[in-house]
Amino acid sequence: MSEDTQKDTDTKVTTGITGLDNILKGGIHRGSAVLVSGNPGTGKSILGMQYIDHGVREHGEGGVYLSFEETEDDIAEAAVSIGIDGWREHVENGDIVVYDKMELLEETDFSSSLTRILEEVDSDRYSRLVMDSLTMFEMFFESEKERRTYLLKMIDILKHNGFTSLLIQESEAVFPDRDIGPEEFLTDGNIYLAQTPTKTGANRYVWVAKMRKQEIDTHIFPMEIKQGGINVHDKAAGFSYMSGEDVDDDMDIGGGTRRGGL
């Protein structure tokens, strides 16, 4: 391995999705907390599972997967169904630790149970974390102020424990119609996943809008989800949010017609 590559491996955390790592110019800056947003079914959980699995298989980095929505078994089933065959084995041997809703909902004070979990985890063995999803977790806070305060604190704890994390967020509206929330500002990076309906199915896209401390390609790239996981194409999509010039058709998404949206 050349010195440069070795240096990149030290500072960048690869997602294992080649096209996405190319957009990220090698990966996510180590120690970052990255928001992954998208509508239902856009591939957020699959991205999270691939990220964790890749860390274990290719880099010997243990992964923590926190799920407020599904049980440990549902997650394993989803992983195996997309082609992550080794998921259960990694969970059994402890390379992947899953905290599912049963454990996370055991205590009524979720924020302290999360803090305890993160502090319990051996930071030498585990350096990748996925929270699926932040949206669900945040629902347990009564006020906006409480939610923001805990989000800040949580990002701090994640960094303090040496994690490079993906925080998954469900979007209600289709980008760019949705509001930008504090999550977007407080996290180090923002990755948006989107899909648009077509006559035969859906076109899928990924957009890395921000990634602190590193250069990225901010074009929108088409992607696919198939057996084996997410595949991001290396040629940028031929349109942008803002301009309709290079768009093929008007699209009707989420109740409003616009040119050039995702």
In the complex with Mg ion, the residue whose CB is nearer, 45 or 135, is: 45
Q: What SS3 class is residue 95?
A: coil
Tokens of 132: 């699926």
Interface with ligand ATP includes 40 (CB under 6 A)?
Answer: yes
Interface with ligand ATP includes 191 (CB under 6 A)?
Answer: no
Q: Choose one: 17-25, 42-50, 74-82, 249-257; the region binding Mg ion (CB under 5 A).
A: 42-50
Q: Which does 38 bind (CB under 5 to 8 A by kind): Mg ion, ligand ATP, none?
A: ligand ATP
Interface with ligand ATP includes 103 (CB under 6 A)?
Answer: no
Which amino acid appears at position 154 of this protein?
M
Q: Choose one: 37-45, 184-192, 202-210, 229-237; the region binding Mg ion (CB under 5 A).
A: 37-45
Tokens of 151: 């989000």
Per DSSP bridges, beta strands 126-132 and 62-67 are parallel
What is the distance between the alpha carbons of residues 16 and 136, in angstroms, rounded to a whole number?
A: 26
Instruction: Identify whether the C-beta of residue 254 lies closer than 8 Å to the C-beta of residue 177.
Output: yes
Least distance CB 9 / ligand ATP (angstroms) = 27
Instruction: Identify whether the C-beta of residue 99 lies closer than 8 Å to the C-beta of residue 117.
Output: yes
Rg (alpha carbons) of the chain, rounded to whole number? 18
Sign of the Cα torsion 13, 79, 191, 124 reads negative
Q: Which does 225 bind (CB under 5 to 8 A by kind): Mg ion, ligand ATP, none?
A: ligand ATP
Q: Which does 62 bind (CB under 5 to 8 A by kind): Mg ion, ligand ATP, none?
A: none
Which listed residue (15, 32, 39, 45) binds Mg ion by CB under 5 A? 45
Binding site for ligand ATP (CB under 6 A): 38, 40-46, 81-82, 170, 225-227
